[in-house]
Structure 1
Amino acid sequence: MNNIAAAGSAIRIAIVYHSAYGHTRRQAEAVKTGVQEVDCTDVLLVSVEDVGRHWDDLNDAQAIIFGAPTYMAGASAAFKAFEEATSSAVMSKGYLWKDKLAAGFTNSGARSGDKLSTLIQFALFAAQHGMHWVNLDLPPANSSASGSEADLNRLGFWLGAGAQSNTDEGPDTAPPASDLATARHLGKRVAVTALQLARGRDTLG
């Protein structure tokens, strides 16, 4: 058992994502796997197309991880529609996501692909809801002669997990294993942080 976990109810972590071609879904599934590596956690994977049935689940979650492909220097339109829907579904009923944890991941065809703008968009969105942002906590890799494409965080992002999928490859082969491992790291980090926060709150009463 993870040494942070203690007896008590499971910590619910939700992953809300959009994926048009399946590449970002693979990244989302890797994040889910990372969460599942931590005991005392329960993870829910929700596509933006299905989010209408899961507002209560998101409101009950201790952490929400956001994911979308980067199109035209920002999150996909489908994900942006989800963000805008929270105005009436969440904000108008009070700051229901206040003090939850948040994190993000994104994928694009190019190595940079303006993914940072999407991660910044996610972080600002989380801030508007009063959430606490969890960063990637990995040094940039593959930035020296001894670096490798197999390194975690090979693309060098700090704010969240970035992935790159060649535009002529399907989701069966892209993103590469290192980017999926980076996504797993993010999921595990959010899960551990959520447990730390919950145990701290329990201690404070």
Structure 2
Amino acid sequence: MSTTVAIIYHSGYGHTARVAEAVARGVRSTANTQSLLIRVEDIDQHWQTLEQVDAIVFGSPTYMGSVSAQFKAFMDATSHQVFAKGGLWANKVAAGFTNAASRSGDKLATLQQLSIFAAQHAMHWINLGLPPGHNSSTTTEDVMNRDSYFLGVGAQSNFDEGPELAPKHPDIMTAEHLGARVALVTHELAEGRRNLSLRRVA
């Protein structure tokens, strides 16, 4: 059974786009799974397509403790395009990622905003599923989840480095992990639904 995971994102300077691409690679690393990268600038071309996908991963840079204005405009548009039309995204799998120059930068607020957004659409939120990374005297930054997020990916990009250098490799690997995790859970949910349907028929 094939499944499709869409990644909807905004990237102001290219750094968050790298995270989105890493999530997509993680999705494709799972057998029988396709990824679909969608910039919020192009969302009007994809509303009908999004009705058919099995999962949606949301991604935005953190600007002033929130998603970017461009991503918020997309969120607001879903009230008419998705919610008011009968909850078209209900029971799809969801997850999220963000990126900022600062280690904290209130990125958790953005991940919470994304998870609440998914909840309003009655979606199933998938957490990162990784232990804390660099949190002791014996660990280094060269590990996944180096800044110890749980709700989603919180990547960090130095403000004086372009997207060819930032985010660092551990954050890219963390994003790939999230993509693979979302793909796996999406398959598990789809298979479970199929089996339940077969039992009801039997």
How many positions carry a matched residue from both structures?
197
Residue 13, structure 1, aligned to residue 13, structure 2: no
Q: Return the offset for 1:113.
A: 0.7
Q: How far apart are the structure 1 equivalents of 2:66 and 2:51?
A: 25
2:200 is aligned to none
1:3 is aligned to none
1:40-189 counterparts in 2 under 5 A? 40-189=32-181
Q: How far apart are the structure 1 equivalents of 2:182 and 2:49?
A: 17
Q: How far apart are the structure 1 equivalents of 2:85 and 2:136?
A: 50
Q: How far apart are the structure 2 equivalents of 1:141 and 1:123?
A: 22
Q: How far apart are the structure 1 equivalents of 2:12 and 2:191?
A: 38
After TM superposition, what 4+ stretches of structure 1 lie above 2 angstroms from structure 2? none
SS at match of 1:92: helix
Q: How far apart are the structure 2 equivalents of 1:146 and 1:187?
A: 28
Instruction: Spell out, residue by residue over 1:76-115, the C-alpha distance to the aligned partner (whole angstroms, 9 max, x if none).
Output: 0000000000011111111100000100000000000100
Q: How far apart are the structure 2 equivalents of 1:196 and 1:111?
A: 34
2:27 is aligned to 35
Q: Return the offset for 1:59.
A: 1.1
Instruction: Spell out, residue by residue over 1:104-147, the C-alpha distance to the aligned partner (whole angstroms, 9 max, x if none).
Output: 00000000010000000000000000001000000111101111
Runs of 5+ consecutive residues of structure 2 not aligned to the other structure: 198-202
* TM-score normalised to structure 2 length: 0.97
Q: Return the offset for 1:42.
A: 1.2
- The CA RMSD over aligned residues, in Å, is 0.5
Q: Return the offset for 1:67.
A: 0.2
Q: How far apart are the structure 2 equivalents of 1:160 and 1:138?
A: 10
Q: Return the offset for 1:69.
A: 0.2
* TM-score normalised to structure 1 length: 0.95
Q: How far apart are the structure 2 equivalents of 1:111 and 1:62?
A: 32
What percent of counterpart residues are identical? Answer: 54
